[in-house]
Chains A and B, each alone.
Chain A
Amino acid sequence: MYDNMTTYMLSDSPESGSGSNHQIGGGNSSSNAPSLIGSPRSTPVFGNNGHALKTNGGLMMNGSSSGAKEMGGHQMWNNVGHPQQQQMQSPVAQPPLPPPHHHRNNVIVDDREENQSLRSDHSNSMAGGLSSSNRAHSRSSRHQHQHSNRPLASTQSGKSTSSGHHRSHRSARAGQHRDHPISSSPMQTSAVLGDRSNNQHQEVIEVQILPQDDGWGDNATALTGNTSVASGSMDDVSRLGGGDGGRGGGGDGGPNDPAWSSNAMGQFQSQGGHLGWNFKCQRYLGSITAAVLAVLAVMTPVAMVLLPRMQIVPLRSEQLRCPAECEGLLITLTVKLVLLVLGSWAVFWRPTRATMPRIFFLRTLVLLLVFVTTFAYCLFYGVRVVEQQDQLDYKAIVTFALSLVDALLFVHYAAVLLLEIRQMPPRYYLHVIRSPDGISRGYPIGAISIQRAAVWLLDKYYTEFPIYNPFLERLPPRRSRSKLAHSSSFKFYDLDAQNNHGSLNPGNARGVLSTTSSSTTARRNNSSHNERFYEEHEYERRLKKRRARLVTSAEEAFTHIRRLQAEPGPAVPMDPYEAAQAIFPSMARPLQKYLRITRQQPRHTVESILQHLAICLSHDLSARAFVEKFLAASPVMQNDKEKCPIQTWSLVCDVLLSRGIEDGTVFQLRQGDVSLLCRISNLPHFNITEEIIEPKSNKFVLRLSSETSV
Chain B
Amino acid sequence: MSTFFHQAGTAMECLSIPITLHKESVLDHEGREVHRCGFKIGGGIDQDFRKSPQNYSDNGIYVTEVQENSPAAKAGLRMNDKILQCNGYDLTMCTHKKAVDYIKKYPVLNMLVARKGVTHS
Q: Binding site of B, secondary structure by majority: helix, strand, loop or mixed?
A: mixed
CA distance A28 to B47 in the complex (A): 107
Q: Among A704, A706, A710, find the residue whose CB has the most chain B CB atoms closer than 10 A.
A: A710
> Taking the complex as formed, is A496 at the interface, i.e. its CB lies under 8 A from any CB of chain B?
no
A207 to chain B, nearest CB (A): 106
Smallest distance from the beta carbon of A705 to chain B beta carbons, Å?
9
B82 to chain A, nearest CB (A): 15
B45 CB, nearest partner CB in chain A, Å: 12
Q: With a CB–CB cut-off of 8 A, which chain A residues contact B100?
A: 708, 710
Q: Does B96 contact A (CB under 8 A)?
A: yes
B120 within 8 A of A: no
A-chain residues with CB within 8 Å of residue B89 when the two chains form the complex: none
CB-CB under 8 A from A709, the residues of chain B are 39-40, 65
CB distance from B40 to the nearest CB of A (A): 5
User: B43 to chain A: which residues have CB within 8 Å?
Assistant: 706
Secondary structure type dominating chain A contacts: loop
In the complex, what residues of B have CB within 8 A of residue A396's CB? none
- Over the window 690-710 of chain A, the binary record of Cβ atoms lying under 8 Å from chain B Cβ atoms (1 yes, 0 no) is 000000000000101011111
**Central interface residue in A704, A706, A707, A709, by most chain B CB within 10 Å:** A706
Are B41 and A708 touching (Cβ within 8 A)? Answer: yes
Complex CA–CA separation, A702 to B42 (angstroms): 14
Closest Cβ of chain A to B10, distance in Å, is 22
Q: Kindly list chain A residues whose C-beta atoms are within 8 Å of the C-beta of B51.
A: 706
Complex contact A710–B39 (CB within 8 A): yes
Measured in the bound complex, the distance between the Cα atoms of B41 and A704 in whole Å is: 11
- Is there an interface contact between B42 and A706, defined as CB atoms closer than 8 Å? yes
Are B40 and A708 within 8 A (Cβ)?
yes
Chain B residue contacts of A708, Cβ below 8 A: 40-42, 96, 100
In the docked arrangement, what's the CA distance between A709 and B66, Å? Answer: 10
B5 to chain A, nearest CB (A): 19
The answer, yes or no, to whether B114 is at the interface (CB within 8 Å) is: no
CB distance from A702 to the nearest CB of B (A): 7
Cα distance A707–B47 in the bound complex, in angstroms = 10
Whether A704 contacts B40 in the complex (CB less than 8 A), given A710-B100, A710-B103, A710-B104, comes out as no
Nearest residue, chain A, Cβ from B99: A708
Q: Are A704 and B42 in contact (CB under 8 A)?
A: yes
Within 8 Å CB of B52, what residues of A? 704, 706
Q: Which residue of B lies closest to A708 (CB)?
A: B100
Tell me, in angstroms, the Cα distance from A707 to B39 when the chains sit together: 10
Q: Is the CB of B39 within 8 A of A706?
A: no
Contact B64 A707 (CB under 8 A): yes
List the B side residues contacting A702 at CB < 8 Å.
53
Q: Tell me, yes or no, whether B37 is within 8 Å of chain A by CB.
A: yes
**Beta-carbon contact of A710 and B41 below 8 Å:** yes
Q: Which residue of chain B is the closest to A702 with respect to CB atoms? A: B53
Set of chain B residues within 8 Å of A706, measured between Cβ atoms: 42-44, 47, 51-52, 96
Give CA–CA (A246, B29) in the complex, Å.
77
What are the interface flags for A307-327 relative to B under an 8 Å C-beta threshold, 1 for contact and 0 otherwise? Answer: 000000000000000000000
Bound together, the chains give a CA A702 to CA B54 distance in angstroms of: 12
Closest CB in chain B relative to A700 CB, distance in Å: 14
User: Interface residues of A, CB < 8 Å — how many?
Assistant: 7
Q: Which of B22-71 contact A (CB under 8 A)?
A: 37, 39-44, 47, 51-53, 64-65
| Residues of chain A lying within 8 A (CB to CB) of residue B103 | 710
Asked if A707 and B42 make an inter-chain contact with CB atoms under 8 angstroms apart, the answer reads yes
Q: Are B53 and A704 in contact (CB under 8 A)?
A: yes
CA distance A706 to B100 in the complex (A): 11
User: Which B residues are in CB contact (< 8 Å) with A707?
Assistant: 40-42, 64-65
B29 to chain A, nearest CB (A): 13
Residue of A nearest to B103 (CB): A710
CA gap between A704 and B47 in the complex, in Å: 11
Q: Which B-chain residue is minimally distant from A709 (CB atoms)? A: B40
Q: How far is the CA of A591 from the CA of B40 in the complex (A)?
A: 74
Residues of A within 8 A of B104 (CB): 710
A704 CB to closest chain B CB, in angstroms?
A: 7
B113 to chain A, nearest CB (A): 14
Q: How far is the CA of A413 from the CA of B84 in the complex (A)?
A: 88
Docked CA distance A457–B74 (Å): 78
- Known A702-B53, A704-B42, A704-B53; contact A710-B47, beta-carbon cutoff 8 A: no
Cα distance A707–B67 in the bound complex, in angstroms: 14
A73 to B104, CA, bound (A): 109
Please, how many angstroms separate the alpha-carbon atoms of A560 and B103 in the complex? 83
Q: In the complex, what's the smallest C-beta–C-beta distance from B30 to chain A, in angstroms?
A: 15
CA–CA, A710 and B70, complex, Å: 11
Distance (whole angstroms) from the CB of A6 to the closest CB of chain B: 104
- Shortest Cβ gap from B71 to chain A (Å): 11
A706 to B52, CA, bound (A): 8
B89 to chain A minimum Cβ distance, whole angstroms, is 14
B35, closest chain A residue (CB): A710
> Roughly how many angstroms separate A83 CA and B24 CA in the complex, as a whole number?
105
Q: In the bound complex, how far is the Cα of B52 from the Cα of A707, in angstroms?
A: 10
Chain A contacts for B37, CB-based, 8 A: 710
**CB under 8 Å from chain B, chain A span 59-106:** none
Chain B residues near A704: list those with CB within 8 A: 42, 52-53
Q: CB within 8 Å of B: which of A338-390?
A: none
Docked Cα-Cα span, A707 to B100, in Å, equals 10
A702 to B43: give the CA distance in the assembly, Å.
16
The CA-CA distance from A213 to B41 in the complex, in Å, is 112
Distance of B69 from chain A, by nearest CB (Å): 15
Instruction: Determine the residue in chain A with the shortest Cβ distance to B104.
Output: A710
Residues of A within 8 A of B64 (CB): 707
Instruction: Tell me, rounded to whole Å, the shortest Cβ–Cβ distance linking B85 to chain A.
Output: 16
Q: How far is the CB of B74 from chain A (nearest CB, A)?
A: 15
| Nearest-neighbor residue (CB-CB) of B39 within chain A | A710
Q: How far is the CB of B34 from chain A (nearest CB, A)?
A: 10
Contacts of B40 in A (CB 8 A): 707-710
User: In angstroms, how far is the closest chain A Cβ from the Cβ of B36?
Assistant: 8
Q: How far is the CB of A62 from chain B (nearest CB, A)?
A: 83
Per-position 1/0 for B84-106, Cβ under 8 A of A? 00000000000010001001100
Residue of A nearest to B42 (CB): A707
Q: How far is the CB of B22 from chain A (nearest CB, A)?
A: 14
A347→B111 CA distance, assembly (Å): 89
B53 / chain A contacts, CB cutoff of 8 Å? 702, 704
Docked complex Cα distance between A704 and B40 (Å): 11
Cα–Cα distance between A709 and B104 once the two chains are bound (Å)? 10
In the complex, how many angstroms separate the beta carbon of B48 from the nearest chain A beta carbon? 8
- How far is it, in angstroms, between the C-alpha of A704 and the C-alpha of B42 when the chains are bound? 9
- Nearest-Cβ distance from residue A112 to partner chain B, whole angstroms: 110
- How far apart sit A702 and B52, CA to CA, in the bound complex (Å)? 12
Within 8 A of B (CB), among A503-522: none
Residue in A closest to B36 when the chains form the complex, CB atoms: A710
Kindly state the separation between the CA atoms of A570 and B43 in the bound complex, as whole angstroms: 83
Say how far B73's CB is from chain A's closest CB, in angstroms. 14
Nearest CB in chain A: distance from B109 CB, A: 9
Q: Which residues of A are interface residues toward B (Cβ below 8 A)?
A: 702, 704, 706-710
Q: List 11 A-B contacts (CB under 8 A).
A: A704-B52, A704-B53, A706-B44, A706-B51, A706-B96, A707-B42, A707-B65, A708-B40, A709-B65, A710-B40, A710-B103
Closest 3 CB pairs of A and B: A707-B42, A709-B40, A706-B47
- Other A-B contacts than A708-B100, A710-B100, 8 sampled, CB-CB below 8 A, are A706-B47, A706-B51, A707-B42, A707-B64, A708-B41, A709-B39, A710-B39, A710-B41
